[in-house]
Amino acid sequence: MIIFEGQKIRRFYDRTTETWYFSIVDIIKVLTDSANPTDYLKKLRKRDLELGKYIGTNCPQVEMITETGKNRKTLAGNPENLFRIIQAVPSKKAEPIKLWLAKVGYERLQEINDPEKALNRSRGYWQKMGRSNQWIQQRMMGQEVRNKLTDYWKNNEVKEQGEYAILTNIIHEEWSGLSVKDHKKLKNLETQNLRDHMSDAELIFTALAELSTRQIAETIKAKGLEDNKVPAKKGGKIAKDARLALEQKTGKKVVTGKNFLEAEKRKKLK
């Protein structure tokens, strides 16, 4: 959560896509000083059908903490989405908020031009959470593999909203035997990032599955969601076969219910 001119704006950082998402209702409240920003937004979407369609297509529901301290799905937008919404709201605060969002975008642009800044930020986050240097190295390698896969999808007609998640789940379920949701449930995770609670082995097999998926997709020149389901399943199977072979040799399961939640709590207390 951050403060803009004395008012709270909830936000969430998606470390998979390296994108900030802000609560749209909070932005509306800042713009309008409305006593009921949720109702204002509903009326705005009904009045401006094009805007309503844009929000429905581009703005995801993200879990954020409410005033009562509970996590709830909240309509959220990245800076680009918010610029579009701000255009539709008559407000004296529009320009200050645009400048503020532009600053957020500028910081992200700096990281694109100098990727080391993004890497250092992620490394610092994991160090604060008590991860070992070996684990951090493995996590960063896996993220690079993931980025190359999503870059391929982006350039080959796969839609980021929804379709990335479908393909990711196919890959994950194929190699691990569990959906992403079930794997999080096994680890007793709620809003936490699954990959941030994977073991070294889980990270390695996830990376192998996604690397294999991308290389197969590139080979068959897959385009769109349906085409990319084929390499997703095949890439996941390559990692599955390797997992089963390792489990047979060691007698140990790769997919585990272990997480870092207790370690993180101890680190925060210190």
**Separation CA 173–CA 180 (nearest Å):** 7
Mean pLDDT on 109-128: 64
CA dihedral 64, 70, 72, 75 (to 10 degrees): -40
Residue position matching structure tokens 């068959």: 220
The sign of the CA dihedral 37, 42, 48, 51 is: positive
CA distance 144 to 33: 42
pLDDT digits (tens, 9 = 90+) for 207-229: 999 999 999 999 999 999 999 99
What residues are paired with 64 via a beta bridge?
72
pLDDT in tens, 63-108: 888 776 777 889 999 888 888 898 888 888 888 888 777 766 545 5
pLDDT band at residue 109 using 50, 70 and 90 as cut-offs: very low
Average pLDDT value over all residues in the chain = 86
Three-state secondary structure of 239-269: HHHHHHHHHHHHCCCCCCCCCCHHHHHHHHH
* Predicted pLDDT at 220: 97
For residue 182, give both structure tokens. 């079930």
pLDDT score, position 91: 87
Q: Say yes or no to pLDDT of 198 above 90.
A: yes
Q: What percent of the chain has pLDDT over 90?
A: 53
Q: What is the pLDDT of residues 41-60, one digit of tens each?
A: 999 999 999 999 999 999 99
